[in-house]
Chain A
Amino acid sequence: MNIFQLAYKNLLRRKLRTCFTVAGITLSTWVLVTLLGFNKGYENSLNNDIDGMGFQIVLTAKGCPYEAATLMLKGGTGLRYMPQDIVQNVDNAKEVLQTTQMLMHAEFDPDKGENGGTAVYMGIDPLTYPLMKPYLKFKQGQWFDNDNSADEIVLGYEAAELEQREIGDLMLLPGSDREYKVVGILNRSGTQDDGMIFLPLKSVQETFDKRGLITMLGIQLTREADAAAFEEELYKLPDVQVVSMAQVKNTIMSLVSSAKVIVFAIAFIAFLIAMSGVLNTVLMSVFERFQEIGILKSMGALPKDIFKMILTETILLCAGGGLCGILLAYAFSGISEAAIRYFLPFAPAGNIIAIDVKIIILSFFIITLTGIIGGIYPAFKAANIRPLDSIRSDSV
């Protein structure tokens, strides 16, 4: 028998109390792992979304929303336009690898879904857009003919589900009697492209009466280009705004960071509760065993042995609770994810709770450290019990 086994057996003496303490630690570990997973997963998926755009800089007309989520929030209003020939100012720059012109159009469709919804149409250039987004894979069909005004449609994965369309179906766009044929349905990409309805650029311009106009110009830079300097250059163009993807990310992250503060405050409180639970449990068990600990000392236990024993008990409690908490967090990450999505203003596609080995180890480390901190005082107290006090205390 060694101190470890002794500590373990000591915990079995008050099974119910041990269980409650472990349950408390389990809960706070669960919260911690989930939050750390969220912290990482959210940023990851956001990065994914943004890298998935294929271009590093977007040029839009001043004040124009540049991503679909904002557009939808605004009910599809507020779009601004730039003349198409702005391209000539950009295309020749040595930093530019290629550009692609886009015309976004959003329209509220009362027939969509239960309460109606906003459909986002994206006019794209069949020559350049697919090249910039090589990761867009087709579930069925393919991109349009290389004809900028073909009467064809490609649906994002979610858009296809929502519209309930299949290859070969004909679609009418609102306010027009031009019929479009669905030629392709994309696989899920985990980006905002999933919700889009893609048409050839010219078709959108004609249908929605925006001839010669675009909303966005996606710019892919060469590898060696100095992005920051080029951005400066672009600012000189009249009436445009330059949106770099790094900037988009920062905007969204700052939006989320206030939510994070609250979330981490909750985690911190959960930890204080867990720690005081541990402290309370262990302290109580030390007081209960006052005499016994004295007897252990008469048997030759040194203060440091007793300290070790009590601290081992604490660490066992915490490690047990920590393991359970990690398992729970892992098992129920789907549910936690759904809950978080429900509360967040904007959630990127993909796993927003990413629990990995690093997080698991970190959480385990934190919870064990909590245990050690909570256990030090009781262990110290126990170590300093004099053999005599305890033997006496029954005769009083």
Chain B
Amino acid sequence: MSKIIEAENLTKIYKRGAEKIYALNNATFSINKGEIVSVTGPSGSGKTTLVNVLGCLDNPTSGSLKIEGRQIFSANANLSEAELTRIRRNIFGYVFQKFFLIPTLTVRENILLPSVFQPELKTDDKNLNRIMENLDIAKRKYHLPSQLSGGEMQRVAVARALINNPSVLIADEPTGNLDSKRSDEIKDLLVNLNKNHGITVVLVTHNPRLAQIGNSFIELNDGKLEGG
């Protein structure tokens, strides 16, 4: 299996006054293409920090990160903001605990939002409809976010993350705002995306039922990889 993400001694230090906080402490691991990786650990253990660095939303303080074999961060060279943006566009889709939908845009427009900034993104209606069918929100196409349930809103957010056909979907507590029935819907959705579309999923969750869909696990404690 080919490695899509390779992390070596990733460290992220936050300074709070004189105190140094190791949000990530020498994390070394790799993620294979087509895996679901569940990231777990107590609150404050560095889960969000980890996936933000993996997703190129944040820089590590030290260590190296390779994505699809390409060196993104290393001791001597970091990519520019424009290059990072290009990698975010081409490789990643992000889903967060909050849905971040734009209230004045319809479901359809919210899903198409990434294409506003990515002219090279050819979003034909077929692709869009397929995604919406897949996530069971097609009949909500012309509704505003305020007319949707929480589960539907999160599915719209997932659809938006999928519009650029990412190879890696990063989901940071995607069910954190949902009840258990809606959580199960999202769980099934992630499994489906992974199985049928080969998308690599990096999933941060507190929910053990959701975490169990992973076929690989990263457990963090105080920024350190458990058993790693």
Contacts and interface: CB of A to CB of B under 8 A. Distances in A.
A392 B102 CA distance: 18
A328 interface: no
Interface stretch (A5-13, A160-168, A177-185, A223-231): A5-13
B104 A9 contact: yes
- What band does the interface of chain B fall in when counting residues whose beta carbon is under 8 Å from A? 20 to 34
Contacts of B142: none
**Majority SS of interface residues in chain A?**
helix
A233 interface: no
A12 B57 CA distance: 29
A394 B99 CA distance: 12
B185 interface: no
Interface string B66-95: 000000000000000110010011001010
A396 to B, nearest CB: 11
Given A1-B112, A13-B104, A292-B102, A299 B57 contact: no
Nearest to B90: A300
B97 to A, nearest CB: 8
Contacts of B103: 13
A370 to B, nearest CB: 26
Interface residues of A, number: 27
A3 interface: yes
Given A298-B57, A388-B57, A391-B57, A12 B104 contact: yes
B113 A387 contact: no
B52 A300 contact: no
Contact of B82 (A3, A302, A392): A302
Contact of A299 (B82, B104, B117): B117
Nearest to A11: B104
- Those 8 A-B pairs whose CB atoms lie nearest each other, nearest first: A300-B89, A301-B117, A299-B114, A295-B100, A9-B104, A388-B58, A387-B57, A305-B117
Interface of A: 1-3, 6, 9-10, 12-13, 291-292, 295-303, 305, 386-388, 391-392, 394-395
Interface of B: 48, 52, 55, 57-58, 81-82, 85, 88-89, 92, 94, 96, 98, 100, 102-105, 109, 112-118, 160, 164, 172
22 contacts: A1-B105, A3-B116, A6-B105, A9-B102, A9-B104, A9-B109, A12-B104, A291-B100, A292-B100, A295-B96, A296-B113, A298-B57, A298-B94, A299-B117, A300-B89, A300-B117, A301-B85, A302-B81, A302-B117, A391-B48, A391-B96, A392-B48
